[in-house]
Amino acid sequence: MKRLNEREIIDLFTSYIDDHLLDEVKNDDVVIFPLRNGLPKRMNQTSSMNIVLKSDMLVESTDVPKTMKPWQIARKAILACVSDFASKGIRPYACLISIGIPRSYSRKNIASLAAGFARASKEYNVHILGGDTNESKELIIDCNMMGVTTLPNSKIPMRKGAMVGDLIVTSGKFGYTSSGLKIILSHLSAEKKFRTKSISSVILPKPQVEFGFKLAKYFSSSIDSSDGLSSSLYELFQKSKVDFVIDKIPIPQDLSHFASSNCVKIDELIFFGGEEYETIATVPKQHFKKLMKDARKYRIKVYHIGKVVMGNGNLIYELNGIRKTVRNKGFMHFAK
């Protein structure tokens, strides 16, 4: 019997849900739901607001390296939701948090979790309004986040929408998080400065969420990179039925040195990581100068990593004039 992966399970559940409201819902990195649905008829003509929802579950055994402290885990649980909102250019407003806590957790550990939630709430200006607690065999945190927007659906970038000629941009560099995980889990050697930087990107990620909040109006498509660069790019170009050519991605010297000294392929570190929580987007060429002008205005870094070309759904990596196809390989629950 075939084992279903995460996306196949979601598709299966969705096929059993027969709700007419799904026809008006945009279900992407976040769920965008017209507020007029469910309201009294007299209000339908005056409301142009969309409710934006996101639910994200963190499970200790699959999402948390042993080196992370409880407050870092709690912060990450909130950041994961904020990142999805940022990729759509919508600021989250509030959240509910449900948490399963092992019996072995001490008062000190629980206080540390609370401190992490408080830190993330202040850092991303998201109000924590309540939630639920229960006992579990391992730490489980489910964050349910909400925002509102008056933007019409046509102005909110989805995963589908990339067009031939668009440029591909990201909010950050790739490779440090996957390097950090290899250092933690596989005990690979690294120079002290690189080791600190890479591990920090795992346990205390600091993505440029303002990249999405300030620049999303220029995106033709977008996604957050929590499942890895290759997997996220595949989501964008397969839905748009085009090819992506990645030919300008930055390769920092320290990352290249780490790869060569540990006999690891540099493209595997860049493309097959995960949980970077950066925004990946496509931008029509005619809007790129305006995007860069706004980026300079708000002191936001933009990495132009490639272009959209005609094709049938391929990810092509070009380095020093040599092209090769990159596999769809990132993090996915239940994947083999």
3 state SS of 176? helix
Q: Do domains 6-154 and 157-325 have the same CATH topology?
A: no
How far separated are the first and last CA of the chain, in Å rounded?
13
DSSP symbol at 2: P
What pLDDT is stored for residue 8 in this prediction?
Answer: 73
d(CA 138, CA 109): 13
Q: Are 243 and 310 in contact (CB under 8 A)?
A: yes
What pLDDT is stored for residue 312 in this prediction?
Answer: 85
Per-residue pLDDT tens for 52-64?
A: 999 999 999 989 9
3 state SS of 309? strand
Phi first, then psi: give them for residue 261, nearest 5 degrees.
-70, -20
What pLDDT is stored for residue 21 in this prediction?
Answer: 56
pLDDT < 70 positions in the chain: 1-2, 6-7, 10, 13-15, 17-27, 36-47, 330-336
CATH number of 157-325: 3.90.650.10
What pLDDT is stored for residue 35 in this prediction?
Answer: 74
What pLDDT is stored for residue 46 in this prediction?
Answer: 46
Residue for token digits 């090819």? 243
What pLDDT is stored for residue 275 in this prediction?
Answer: 87
Q: How many residues are listed for the chain in this entry?
A: 336
Domain spans of the chain?
6-154, 157-325
Q: Are 265 and 329 in contact (CB under 8 A)?
A: no
Second CATH level (architecture) for the domain 6-154: 2-Layer Sandwich (3.30)
What pLDDT is stored for residue 203 in this prediction?
Answer: 95
3 state SS of 127? strand
